[in-house]
Amino acid sequence: MKLVCAQSELNTNLSLVSRAVPSRPTHPVLANILLQADAKTNQVSLTAFDLSLGIRTSFNAEVLEGGAIAIPAKLLVDITSRLPAGEITLDDEAEETATGEGLIVTLKPENGRYQIRAMGAEEFPELPIIANSSAIQLTTAALIEGLRGSLFATSSDETKQVLTGVHLQVKQDTLEFAATDGHRLAVIETTNERPVEHESQLEVTVPAKALRELQRMLAHNASLEAAISLYFDQGQVVFAWQNQCLTSRTLEGQYPAYRQLIPRQFERQVTIDRRQFISTLERIAVLADQKNNIVKVSIDQTNQELTLSCEAQDVGNGKESMSAQISGDNIDIAFNVKYLMEGLKELPSTEIQMHLNQSLTPVIFTPLGGVKMTYLAMPVQVRN
């Protein structure tokens, strides 16, 4: 195998796939990246696979001689990222060693030469292929929008396995993404410009880790109009577009019936400027961080204002008011400031609405206009 490629192309694609290389591989070959070069198409593809998450990316290069080889990921990434911009020649050769025959990969930048011991491509496991499933076509824009509005609300607690993923529902002309960690819930519905046949509609829970990598890949190398092909089979999901693909195991278990958690009617409604709300929260959060991350929100219907306050014992206190459009009686309610801010930052509009009933019932935040997103935050009890 022999090829010539740009350092920037190799480095960018290595940084994407290397995220699927396991930190503690169960088998030595999984610590490698599979490099395949095709002389007919002048395409180089890189693959990494931890047996749960698999990433493959491709890019153009001058392939003088086709072939495939598995190269230690960390060494390859560390060397390539430090090479100067320009062309790199990469080739492999067999070498007699004391323990028998080994493989050596040589990287030649303009003024250097680096050699790395490698493994045969045949040892690298195949990425799962879903042969019997027909592809569901999704738009990149809808997928990016849905991931941005849901990923932040997934759980990091591995004991709540099904909550560590995003629940995706593909409907006829919409995609619904839901994520919850038990304290908050984000549900976002996006329009899919590529209608789906009734038989192809599906529900699946995909690990957040895999979807974060998908989000990163899409942001890097997909136009918003590009179609994403989604293949699904029991226990496995594949996202494929252009010359890229990501495969992931799905999460088992029944996802919570989250629609039942969202109240249908509300006694109070507040309309407020989102950016002003966030910046006020960020200031109050400085004191909240000193104590217990709790911020109190006082709704004053008479004066049409919202007051945020925090009492950090032995440290100090803070209070700040802002104008709002309020209907319903006055009420004090408290939140974990982290959960409140993370959700508000993802609501895609200038103004937002806050819908609530009592001081300990779920509070719903929605954007005014634009994307259909619902963010539910559970209030906390404040002991005076």
pLDDT at 192: 80
Helix, strand, coil percent values for the chain (each to nearest 5): 25, 45, 30
Higher pLDDT, 371 or 320: 320
Closest to 140 measured CA to CA, from 247, 209, 241: 241
Burial class from Cβ neighbours inside 10 Å (0-12, 13-18, 19+) for residue 124 reads buried
Cβ neighbours of residue 365 closer than 8 Å, sequence gap 6 or more: 343, 344, 347, 352, 353, 354, 355, 374, 375, 376, 377
Range 343-361 average pLDDT: 94
287: pLDDT strictly greater than 80: yes
The architecture CATH gives domain 136-259:
Roll (3.10)
Query: Which residue reads 């030649």 in tokens?
Result: 108
Per CATH, 136-259 and 263-377 having the same topology is answered yes
Query: Residue 48's beta-bridge partner residues?
Result: 55
- How do the domains of the chain map onto residue ranges? 2-123, 136-259, 263-377
User: What kind of fold does domain 263-377 have according to CATH?
Assistant: DNA Polymerase III; Chain A, domain 2 (3.10.150)
330: pLDDT strictly greater than 50: yes
| In 83-207, alpha helices (H) | 140-148
270-284 residue pLDDT tens: 999 999 999 999 999
Which pair of tokens denotes residue 120?
A: 């045969």
Longest dimension (CA), the chain: 86
User: Confidence class of residue 98 from pLDDT cuts 50, 70 and 90?
Assistant: very low
108-157 residue pLDDT tens: 999 899 999 999 999 999 998 877 678 888 888 889 999 999 999 999 99
pTM, two decimal places: 0.90
Q: What is the CATH number of domain 2-123?
A: 3.10.150.10
Q: Say whether 266 sits in a helix, a strand or coil.
A: coil
Give all strands of the β-sheet with 294-300 in edge-to-edge order: 316-323, 305-312, 294-300, 331-336
The bridge status of strand 184-191 relative to strand 2-6 is unpaired
Alpha carbon 42 to chain centroid distance? 31
Measured between alpha carbons, how far is 232 from 237 in angstroms, rounded to an integer? 5
Average pLDDT of the residues of the chain: 91
User: Confidence class of residue 97 from pLDDT cuts 50, 70 and 90?
Assistant: very low
- 19: phi > 0 → left, psi -120 to 50 → alpha, else beta; which? alpha
What are the CA-CA distances from residue 211 to residues 18, 54, 214, 218, 368 (Å)?
A: 15, 12, 5, 10, 27
153-206 residue pLDDT tens: 999 998 889 999 999 999 888 899 999 999 999 999 998 876 676 566 789 999
